[in-house]
Every structure is written in structure tokens, then in C-alpha cells.
Amino acid sequence: MTPEPLATTELKDSQQAVAEISPVLSPQLPEGVAPQGYTKALLSALAAKLPLQLDLRLPLPSFRVQNLLSLEKGQVIESAWPHTEDLPLWSGGVHLVWTEFEVVDQKLAVRVTRLV
């Protein structure tokens, strides 16, 4: 079942309500865009601004708290994960995607390789 698009007054009311709740979450609406079908874009814009914790779980067999506290910049840690396998990326206990690490301009990046 597809939700009905908001009427112009309902759209303005919903935007005002969002702005009152949190100015950070309030999206800037493009000029000249008709409100029909804009509900989905509005919700996407709101969701894109919500904080999200991502988890990458790797087996580190002999890694202890002491090892964590003694970590230094540039140090490499060996994991039990095969280097040829993609890594699972989780959020809130939900497996979202499979990923791989890549270095881009001396920064560590994560590339999404496939969806779950």
C-alpha cells in the first residue's frame, strides 16, 4: 500500500513540526518542487541526518584490553578474518552490507561490495 502524497498545507505543517522538534533535522525544500510525492524525499532527508552507529565485527583471538590501551598510530593488528573475504557491516544488530577496506588519499575507506 503506497502512502498518499501530502497536500500543500499538510506538507508545510509537517515541515514546521519537524523544524520545531529539531532545526538540525529540518530539510531545506527545493524551490518550485510540487508537494505531490515529496513525502518520500522529505523522509529520506530526515533519515539521512539521523545519527547512526555502524559496527564492524572482526575476530581478534588474542586481543586484550591491554593491547587496546597500548595501541599507537600506524600500528597493524592481525585478525583471524581471511584477507580475501568481505567484512560484514552492522547497525543496531542488523547486518546491512558486506564491505572491504580501501586506502583513499591516505585515509581508510570502506567500500560496499554487496547488499544483504
In tens digits, the chain (116 residues) has pLDDT values of 444 554 555 555 555 555 555 555 555 555 655 555 556 676 677 777 788 888 988 888 888 999 999 999 989 888 888 888 999 999 888 998 999 988 889 888 889 999 98
Q: What CA–CA distance (Å, rounded) separates 81 from 86?
A: 9
pTM for the model stands at 0.51
Q: What are the residue ranges spanned by the domains of the chain?
A: 8-48, 55-115
Give, for 46, the enclosing helix (H) or strand (E): helix 38-48
Q: What CA–CA distance (Å, rounded) separates 62 from 75?
A: 16
- CATH number for the domain formed by residue range(s) 55-115: 2.30.330
